[in-house]
Amino acid sequence: MTEGSEATVAAAHRVEVALGERAYHVHIGPGVRAALPEVVAGIGARRVAVVSARPPEWTPDPGVPSVVIPARDGEHHKTLGWVEELCRRFADFGLSRSDAVVSVGGGTTTDAAGLAAALYHRGVPVVHLPTSLLAQVDASVGGKTAVNLPQGKNLVGAYWQPRAVLCDTEYLTTLPRREWTNGYGEIARCHFIGAGDLYGLPVQEQIAASVVLKASIVADDERDAGPRHLLNYGHTLGHALERATGYRLRHGEAVAIGTVFAGVLAGRLGRIGPDRVAEHRSVVAAYGLPTALPAGPGSDAGALIALMRLDKKATDGLTFVLDGPRGAEPVRGVPEPEVAAALADMPVGDAGTGGR
Ligand code: GLY
């Protein structure tokens, strides 16, 4: 551990993702990026390629010779072309299999750098330093890496577990408000898949609880064959809304609306009562997230249903993760008229946020 980092890092949360020989820790707290040299030394890497979306003062020195490659942050840069460019830069630097890649940025950076690490030399160790709330609570943990194709999001990827994740909450101090609400979309949906009520806790605790939940689900089902589908609570409609609005809605905002919808649909199907349906709306609203379908293409039921049929998890008709007597679980083959009726029950417009 580097000098001066012990106190802050000791105050951090440490969550294990228990995956046998691929197990690793997620460190959460202010200043945990200072642990990077220790993590790199533990891997035994002699050189490091740092892919960073942050300015130099926020990009920690890995303690070994390194090259910093400025990241192209943003969904439209999550392409195979960018992954090839990263691999070329790794090769120019002479990165070998006994070295490592470090990503510093939001989910689009950890996704692309993670995939480049998975592919380069058939796999080099990667350490993620997620800098957005959304990446800290979800994207950087669990080993999913991917880039987009014109045909859809995250269509080309690999499971490549990081060797460590350093969720430094000091990165969050510079986030614009919309990035906070974006992350809260994923935290709000945790309420309905086993994390309980996280509203009002300090953000470090909210991140830790979300990561503990995700770590246990990933340890159960690394390759998304069943239990991991739970993490997609609110995502079936969420993904459709992202596409229908041309990504004008951020992922977390779309998941928030999708979470409210999951409650409405579960209520229509008699899986939960009116109080629990209302709880979906009040939890989402409490985090300052939208609860209504956006006006325009984002409220066209026919278009949304067509997009939901394309969902990667929709192997058997329209598929949703829905709350019910046994808790949340995937429900396949939901009749289209029920989905259309639930969409019709949703409010439309920019309103829909409020206190709790
Ligand atoms: N973000 C969903 C998952 O990691 O499975």
- Structure tokens of 112? 């692309």
Looking at residue 12, what is its pLDDT?
84
For ligand 1, the distance from its centroid to the CA atom of residue 167, given in whole angstroms, is: 17
For ligand 1, the distance from its centroid to the CA atom of residue 66, given in whole angstroms, is: 30
3-175 CATH choice from 3.40.50.80, 3.40.50.1970, 3.30.750.24, 3.40.50.970: 3.40.50.1970
- Structure tokens of 324? 């019910």
Test site for ligand 1: of 224, 229, 259, most ligand atoms within 8 A of the Cβ: 224
For ligand 1, the distance from its centroid to the CA atom of residue 220, given in whole angstroms, is: 13
Checking if the pLDDT of 10 tops 60, the result is no
Looking at residue 296, what is its pLDDT?
86
Residue percentage of the chain with pLDDT more than 70: 94
Q: Give the mean model confidence (pLDDT) for residues 164-181.
A: 95
3-class DSSP state for residue 176? coil
Q: Which helix (H) or strand (E) holds 152?
A: strand 152-159
pLDDT in tens, 25-79: 999 999 999 999 999 999 999 999 999 999 999 999 999 999 999 998 788 889 9
Same fold: 3-175 with 183-193+233-345: no
For ligand 1, the distance from its centroid to the CA atom of residue 229, given in whole angstroms, is: 8
Looking at residue 183, what is its pLDDT?
97
Test site for ligand 1: of 136, 137, 138, most ligand atoms within 8 A of the Cβ: 138
Number of Cβ atoms within 10 Å of the Cβ of 196 = 10
For ligand 1, the distance from its centroid to the CA atom of residue 103, given in whole angstroms, is: 18
- Structure tokens of 342? 């639930």
Checking if the pLDDT of 1 tops 60, the result is no
Check if the beta carbon of residue 1 is closer than 8 Å to that of residue 38.
yes
Q: For the chain, which residues make up each domain, given as ranges?
A: 3-175, 183-193+233-345
With CA atoms as reference, report the closest residue to 125 among 44, 70, 69.
Answer: 44
Looking at residue 246, what is its pLDDT?
87
| Bridge partner residues of 49 (DSSP) | 67, 101
Closest atom of ligand 1 to 142 CA is: 4
**Ligand 1 atom 2: residue of nearest CA:** 231
Q: Give the mean model confidence (pLDDT) for residues 118-142.
A: 98
For ligand 1, the distance from its centroid to the CA atom of residue 142, given in whole angstroms, is: 7
183-193+233-345 CATH choice from 3.30.460.20, 1.20.1090.10, 1.10.357.20, 1.25.40.10: 1.20.1090.10
Looking at residue 350, what is its pLDDT?
66
Test site for ligand 1: of 144, 211, 242, 313, most ligand atoms within 8 A of the Cβ: 144
**Across all residues in the chain, what is the average pLDDT?**
93
- Residues having CB closer than 6 A to ligand 1 are 138, 142, 144, 224, 228, 231
Looking at residue 11, what is its pLDDT?
61
Q: Give the mean model confidence (pLDDT) for residues 220-232.
A: 95
For ligand 1, the distance from its centroid to the CA atom of residue 64, given in whole angstroms, is: 32
Checking if the pLDDT of 268 tops 90, the result is yes
Closest atom of ligand 1 to 224 CA is: 5
Closest atom of ligand 1 to 144 CA is: 4
Measured CA to CA, the distance from residue 229 to residue 345 in angstroms comes to 25
Checking if the pLDDT of 180 tops 90, the result is yes
3-class DSSP state for residue 324? coil
With CA atoms as reference, report the closest residue to 219 among 18, 14, 16, 15.
Answer: 18
Measured CA to CA, the distance from residue 36 to residue 101 in angstroms comes to 12
Looking at residue 352, what is its pLDDT?
42
3-class DSSP state for residue 50? strand
Q: Give the mean model confidence (pLDDT) for residues 6-25.
A: 82
For the chain, how are helix, strand and coil distributed in percent, rounded to 5?
A: 50, 15, 35
For ligand 1, the distance from its centroid to the CA atom of residue 311, given in whole angstroms, is: 14
Exposed e or buried b for every residue in 42-71, given b needs 16+ CB within 10 A? ebebebbbbbbbbeeebbbebebebebbeb
Looking at residue 74, what is its pLDDT?
82
> How many helical (H) and strand (E) elements, i.e. helices and strands, does the chain have?
12, 11
Closest atom of ligand 1 to 139 CA is: 1
Check if the beta carbon of residue 167 is closer than 8 Å to that of residue 130.
yes
Measured CA to CA, the distance from residue 324 to residue 192 in angstroms comes to 10
Looking at residue 122, what is its pLDDT?
97
pLDDT in tens, 291-320: 999 998 878 999 999 999 987 776 778 999
Lowest model confidence (mean pLDDT) among 268-277, 303-312, 346-355: 346-355
Q: 4 or 180, which is more confident?
A: 180
Test site for ligand 1: of 136, 137, 165, 228, most ligand atoms within 8 A of the Cβ: 228
Checking if the pLDDT of 151 tops 90, the result is no
Q: Give the mean model confidence (pLDDT) for residues 246-264.
A: 95
**Ligand 1 atom 3: residue of nearest CA:** 231
| Bridge partner residues of 130 (DSSP) | 105
One-character DSSP codes across 57-103 = GGS---SS-EEEEE---SGGG-SHHHHHHHHHHHHHHT--TTSEEEE
Measured CA to CA, the distance from residue 342 to residue 354 in angstroms comes to 22
